[in-house]
Amino acid sequence: MSATGQGKGWDVLDSQDRARFEQLVLPHLDAAFNLSRWLLRSRSDSEDVAQEALLRAFRFFRGFNGGDARAWLLQIVRNTCYTWLEKNRQVELMTEFDEDLHQQSTANPETLAIAGDNRERLARALETLPVRFREVIILRELEGCSYKEIASITSVPIGTVMSALARARQRLQRALTQPAQQEAPREL
């Protein structure tokens, strides 16, 4: 993972690479922070994790082939978040998310609209979703990523992205319209 034998990570990049990194990758810091904030459900933790991810990206920058810099960075951010969750909140990663799609019924649009107008409630409903559902909602609805981008960020096939999004939206609608049922453990 580290640039072994080449000294500290940033030393291996010359000033030209550094300039490119600042030009291509740093502008996506907000996207990096937003993703980690929602994956970790905490602003303070995500500051640390986003920072770590950016430094990691900087070390790996030589391996960046010049494609979509945002997707490339978000993939690193996501991996860093998962590593952090594994270490600190393993339970969250074990939450099953393979739920039956058939027992759902379409949420009543009015109830949904009323519930959705409350930012606090919406944020909480989003946080109750298993992390693998939450991430597709964040990437699609907040970050505006295409399925292809989400697939590359989360390292799954496009078909999986599609079905995860369909389920995630249904779960979120349900969490919004039947609140206070299964709140995820909030950190202290």
Q: Rule CB under 8 A: which residues touch another protein?
A: 8, 10-11, 15, 18-19, 21-23, 26-27, 29-30, 32-34, 37-38, 43, 47, 50-51, 54-55, 58, 68, 101-102, 106-107, 109, 112-113, 115-117, 119, 122-123, 126, 137, 140-142, 144-149, 162-163, 165-166, 169-170, 172-173, 176
CA 38-54-129 angle, 5° bins: 15
* Neighbouring C-beta atoms of residue 97, cutoff 10 Å: 14
Minimum CB distance to another protein, residue 178 (Å):
14
Question: With respect to another protein, which residue has the nearer C-beta, 54 or 85?
Answer: 54
CA distance 117 to 113: 6
For residue 107, the minimal CB distance to another protein (Å) is 5
Which CB atom, from 56 or from 130, has the smaller least distance to another protein?
56
Distances, alpha carbon 3 to alpha carbons 47, 62, 70, in Å: 24, 11, 23
Least distance to another protein from the beta carbon of 69, Å? Answer: 11
Nearest CA among 62, 75, 52 for reference residue 20: 62
- Give 153 or 176: the residue with its C-beta nearer to another protein: 176
**Least CB distance from residue 44 to another protein, whole Å?**
10
Task: Choose among 61, 132, 127, 66: nearest CA to 94.
Answer: 132
Q: How far is the CB of 61 from another protein (least distance, A)?
A: 10
At 183, list the tokens.
Answer: 């709140």
Q: What is d(CA 73, CA 43) in angstroms, rounded to the nearest whole number?
A: 19
